[in-house]
Structures are given as structure tokens and as C-alpha cells.
Amino acid sequence: WSRREGGRDPFTGKRFTKLYIRNYGVEPATLRIEVATTPAYPQAAGIPLTAIAIVVLFLTYIALRLALPQAAAIGLATYKSEIAQPLFMILLAFGATALIAFHFIPYNTFGEDIKMLKTSGITLIMILAIVQAIWAASTSIAEEIDGRTALTVLSKPLTRRDFIIGKFFGISWTVLLLFLLLALVLVIAVAYKPIHEARESSNEDPNWQECYG
């Protein structure tokens, strides 16, 4: 007996103390019983993992603020500057539009459309994140040197190491924000894909387990 959604549970309602097995063959038989327990909904295991990831992210930021306050201040200023750039919004809009378009593309993969959607979406997100990282890294420090902002900052009690580390963290936070926003769009597109396919084929709407990406 395998526990699954919609399956019949033969052990419901009573407590069994004995189990009788009948051998219909003529040869002696060996009976082996293996018991393995799993959650009723394994998809729910992602909830605590997501909560832990969010807590770790905030604790990392707090630890950075306490350990390297000057670098964290530079990183926060860089982060705010980069997300205000037109390129960030262009990449975000293009990525979200492309991910939504991927949802309606017929892949003709004989039941592997969701896998292709996830692969294509993740690849696109990584490419856009790389573009954002390269652009931010190549222009952030160069613009401050040309505008002599870096000289003003370095004239204060701030080491070059903290300045570079702060720039690195600021660009990393920008890329992380882009990745998270596009990943949210991808999760919604993947979750709606089974519903779209079911309605296109005039089938019943799938349950939430089938929509779990």
C-alpha cells in the first residue's frame, strides 16, 4: 500500500494487532515487511526551508552590519544606486515578460513541458543576472572615479578594502534582488502551467500537488 493523494487507506478507523497472510502457492514463501513513513504532503517541506533561508539572509545582513559597518554602508548605497539605474528595470521587465511568454510556448516534449519551462526560465534568469552583475561591476567604481566621488569617500576614515568589499556586496544584493523577483514570476508561471494545459485539453483542473514547481 502506497499512501498518495486520493488513495484508499486500508488502515483507517481501527487499530490492527494481527495481520494474516495466506500463501496460495505450493512452495514455501518468505514474507518481508518494510515500513517507511513519509509526510502526507512532501511538498510542504519547502515551507520551513524557505523560512530558514529568509532568516539566514537577514542574519547575514545583520552580521555584516556589525562586523563591517563601513563596508555595509557602502554596499547599501551601491545597492540603492544600482536598482535606480534604467538597466535594472529593463532587465526586470524583459525577464518577467519572457517568463510569462515561456508559459504559453508549446514545447512538444510529450509531457515534459514543465521541465522545459523550468530549465528555460532558470537559464534566462542566470543570463540576466550575469548581465546585471557585469554592467554594475564595470560602471560602479569607474563612474565614482570619473566623478571624483571615490576620492572624497576615501579621504574619510575608510580603507580601500572596505570600499571594494562594500561595492561587491552592493552589486551582489542587486543581483540577488533581480534573481528573487524573476524567480517569483517563474514560480507562478510553473504553477499555472498544469492548469493551462488541463484547460487546453478539456480536462479537470489539477490538484495543488501537480501545480507544485
d(CA 79, CA 135): 13
Least confident of 32-36, 54-58, 119-123, 146-150: 146-150
In a domain, 103, yes or no: yes
125 against 39, higher pLDDT: 125
Check residue 82 and give its pLDDT: 87
Q: Map grid coordinates 540577488 to a residue.
A: 176
d(CA 117, CA 112): 9
Give the structural domain span for 152: 70-200
Check residue 96 and give its pLDDT: 93
Element (H, E) at 16: none
Q: What is the pTM of this model?
A: 0.70
In a domain, 51, yes or no: no
In a domain, 170, yes or no: yes
In a domain, 42, yes or no: no
In a domain, 9, yes or no: no
In a domain, 33, yes or no: no
183 against 18, higher pLDDT: 183
Q: Map grid coordinates 529568509 to a residue.
A: 54
**Average per-residue pLDDT in the chain?**
79
* CB of 68 closer than 8 Å to CB of 162: yes
28-59 pLDDT, tens per residue?
888 888 777 766 666 777 788 889 988 998 89
List the one residue out of 127, 126, 103, 115 whose CA is nearest residue 213: 115
Number of domains the chain is built from: 1
In a domain, 147, yes or no: yes
Helix axes 160-200, 113-146, angle to 10 degrees: 150
In a domain, 48, yes or no: no
- Alpha-carbon dihedral angle through residues 113, 122, 59, 156, given to the nearest 10 degrees: -160
148 pLDDT tier (thresholds 50, 70, 90): low
